[in-house]
Amino acid sequence: MSTAPLSAASHATPFTFNPNETGPNDQAGENPLDNHEAKPEKSETAPINLRQLLGNPEHKSAPFCAAVTCPSDATLPFAAQIADTRQCIPNGLPARCFSMSGDGENLLKSVEELRLEPYDDRNPSKKLDQWNKFATIGYRHLISKSEWSTYKKGIDKNQADLLFQNDLKPFADAVRSSISTNLQQYQFDALVMLAYNIGIGGFKGSSVVKMINDPCAKTSYATLEDAWKAWNKTGGKVSQGLINRRDAEWKVFTQATYEKW
What pTM value is reported for the model?
0.75
Does residue 186 lie in a domain region?
yes
Q: Residue 44: inside a domain, yes or no?
A: yes
Instruction: Judge whether 119 lies within some domain.
Output: yes
Domain harbouring 76, CATH code: 1.10.530.40
Reported as a single tens digit per residue, the pLDDT across 136-162 is 999 999 999 999 999 999 999 999 999
In a domain? residue 13 = no
pLDDT at residue 117 is higher than 60: yes
Q: What is the pLDDT of residue 89?
A: 83
In a domain, 73, yes or no: yes
Total domains, the chain? 1
Catalytic machinery residues: 112
pLDDT score for 156 = 98
Rounded to an integer, the average pLDDT of 161-175 is 97
pLDDT at 86: 75
The answer to whether position 237 is within a domain reads: yes
- Domain range for 87 is 35-255
Closest by CA position to 184, among listed 86, 67, 75, 51: 86
Average pLDDT rounded to a whole number, residues 83-108? 88
Does 219 reside within a domain?
yes
21 falls within a domain: no
